[in-house]
Structure 1
């Protein structure tokens, strides 16, 4: 009787294959802990994505979900040999294969790389927004949360969800909109299988050392440009003494800020001017 039922399904496939109908089955091992104590073996039969029959090691028998499935489940449950074979799959199929997966795949993990930075919030929202970006972690499961002065924050929090990088690694970006308070401490907390304990990243609103160095370099370049610009202007004006006197008090005050003497500035400008003019690359008063 059992074989006739299977033949009926195969015949159904043969007749309707051209129309895209499909019959298939899946064997699954479901568990939620490394001890594998909650392991469950599930064997399901499908027709066109509709589950017809399922065997579960938790129940120890077949269950039908359609009229056809119920009839076959009742028939298979009366077959001691078939039930015995399916009941043994948890130990003979699930446990050995899961242990192999744990050794080669499930136990592998990669530490996440975390960057906490500020960004402009959307219009008509809170005045400030922080983004906690977590990169290059494996496996996929991860938790990112926000804490403010030691208390978890849930309002104003949004996330992109875990995104695939395409190279077995993942990334996620969590955002916190908030109103800054003086002296507060805001932290992004990351929990992942690769971490022995949660990773706390505290927000520091002050500029980083690299940012300060960039600003210092930019300011130095600006000052140097102003010095040379001022020197050129003074030299040009020196050719029209009626309009500007080089030894005036205003000129001395302007030159003093550059750290050079007036004679040094004029000598440098004259040298550059003469070189450019000799090359025909600079036109000016003779």
Structure 2
């Protein structure tokens, strides 16, 4: 986690008049550890959705963005007690809350789920594309590599960035373009904080994915046909049993 900053915010809103003049304060903490020196505290002040002033702990003072905001910033920057209070908020609010985040969330890890599949033909001498999709892992940092007969593949490989799923989990997709060779073994290797050892998933080219899909569709159609035939036979039998024979003259 030390390589990138995380952040959380708290919003305070006060409505001053019935006509909707709105004063809002947004407190934001950006951090990459629980050490106070690694925590940046930002207090943004808004009026009617316009930020007019901001305190930034990296500057140690207020900055104004509007005419009135600059007057307020100058006033607060000359108030030693106000600066002492807002600087103390970095430890009282940010450092305390950051410790909770690390203890209850950021120190946890969730193992990834790996799906190895192909795109395009995997037979003959034509290039094919293998996709190693890794889902539902936390934290974000992960390493996905391709192995050919146990050796790392460095060419013809493309990968997406880690993508957030909006639920604290992430996903990533790595693509390998290759020409199938008889007897070779291709694997996708995933290294993550949740794993005690790398997770290696081997590609099974015995039956192309397109063919497996065709078989699945054909089997589904056959089962549906048998069900319809059985239903028709039962209906016919019941109709036959319900007929009344009328003797002819």
Q: TM-score, normalised by structure 1?
A: 0.53
For the 8 Å contact 1:119–1:128, the answer to whether it is kept is yes
Cα distance in 2 for partners of 1:202, 1:145 equals 11
Aligned to 1:23: 23
Q: What whole-Å deviation, never above 9, does each CA across 1:35-94 have from its counterpart, x for those lacking one?
A: 554111111112344432111222211111233322211111011110110111122222
Q: Deviations over 1:178-211 (max 9, x none)?
A: 13264776554435442456x3535434449xx9
Give the aligned partner of residue 161 of structure 1.
163
Q: Which residue does the alignment assign to 1:258?
A: none
Structure 1 equivalent of residue 231 of structure 2: none
Residue matched to 1:143: 142
Aligned residues of 2:32 and 2:38 also touching (Cα < 8 A):
yes
**Per-residue Cα deviation, 1:192-249 (whole angstroms, up to 9, x for no partner):** 442456x3535434449xx9xx9xxxxxxxxxxxxxxxxxxxxxxxxxxxxxxxxxxx
Distance of 1:36 and 1:120 partners within structure 2? 52
Do the aligned residues in 1 keep the contact of 2:191 with 2:199 (CA within 8 Å)?
no
Which structure has more strand as a fraction of its residues? 2
RMSD: 3.6
1:57 aligns with 2:60: no
> Pairwise mapping of residues 58-97 of structure 1 onto structure 2 (< 5 A)?
58-97=58-97
Do the aligned residues in 2 keep the contact of 1:28 with 1:41 (CA within 8 Å)?
yes
Quote the Cα distance in structure 1 between the aligned partners of 2:42 and 2:160.
Answer: 36
Q: Which structure: larger Rg? A: 1
- CA 128–40 in structure 1, closer or farther in 2 if over 3 Å, else same: same
How far, CA to CA, are the matches of 1:49 and 1:181 in structure 2? Answer: 59
Tell me the CA shift for residue 172 of structure 1.
2.3
Extract unaligned runs of 5+ from structure 2. Answer: 1-13, 213-249
SS of corresponding position for 1:194: coil
The 1:60/1:187 distance shift into structure 2, 3 A limit, reads farther
Length-normalised TM-score, structure 2: 0.60
Look up the match of 1:178: 177
Using the TM superposition, give the Cα deviation of residue 27 of structure 1 relative to its aligned residue in structure 2, in angstroms.
1.3
**1:112 to 2:112 alignment:** yes
Name structure 1 gaps, 5 residues minimum. Answer: 1-9, 215-286
Query: Does structure 2 conserve the Cα–Cα contact (< 8 Å) formed by 1:54 and 1:63?
Result: yes
Task: Name the counterpart of 1:39.
Answer: 39
Cα distance change, pair 76–171 in 1 and its aligned pair in 2 (3 A): closer
Alignment-derived partner of residue 229 in structure 1? none
In structure 2, the CA distance between the partners of 1:30 and 1:156, relative to structure 1 (3 Å rule), is closer
Report if the CA contact (8 A) 2:156-2:178 is conserved.
no
- Matched residue of 1:104: which SS? helix
CA distance in 2 between counterparts of 1:120 and 1:162 reads 27
Give the Cα separation in 1 of the matches to 2:119 and 2:25: 50
3-state SS of paired residue (1:88): helix
Q: What residue number does 1:252 align with?
A: none
Q: In structure 1, what is the equivalent of residue 17 of structure 2? A: 14
